[in-house]
Amino acid sequence: MQQVSDGSPFPVQRRHRRYDLQCPVRLQLPQMPSVSSLDTVSRNVSLGGMLLDSKISVPKDSPVFLTMTLGRQPMIRPLQITAEGRVVRVAKDESGFAIAVEFTRPLSRIENLLTTSELSF
């Protein structure tokens, strides 16, 4: 595990390579009846999790279901990736909140998608 500084509000220990990727991510929050879903934007993504920018905070340890949409508009059919995870860190920053989500299972196919030149983000 390596420790790096990437400008995020969290001390960083990495198991997986991070990709700087800004794309829409919809969080489903099954344990928050007041906010059943939340639209966010990814800051970076790895096999094991992602860092999100959000206007609204989410409680630490909340389980989440997320749908990440890859590809620019206009696209006939953008690629959507779904995952389950839990919120492991939340920090207030200049644009709202930075929310770190750890995936329940690694996204085994994401690395191939993010390194291919066929998708432009």
pLDDT single digits (tens) 92-116: 998 899 999 999 987 766 656 655 5
Q: pLDDT tens digits for 34-64?
A: 778 999 999 999 889 999 999 999 999 999 9
Q: Is the pLDDT of residue 79 over 50?
A: yes
Q: Is 120 domain-assigned?
A: no
Segments forming the whole domain that contains residue 28: 2-114
Q: What's 90's domain CATH number? A: 2.40.10.220
Q: Is 44 domain-assigned?
A: yes
Number of domains in the chain: 1
Q: Is 109 domain-assigned?
A: yes
Report cis status (omega within 30 of 0) of the bond before 33.
no
- Main-chain dihedrals φ then ψ at residue 24, nearest 5 degrees: -65, 140
In eight-state DSSP terms, residue 52 is: E
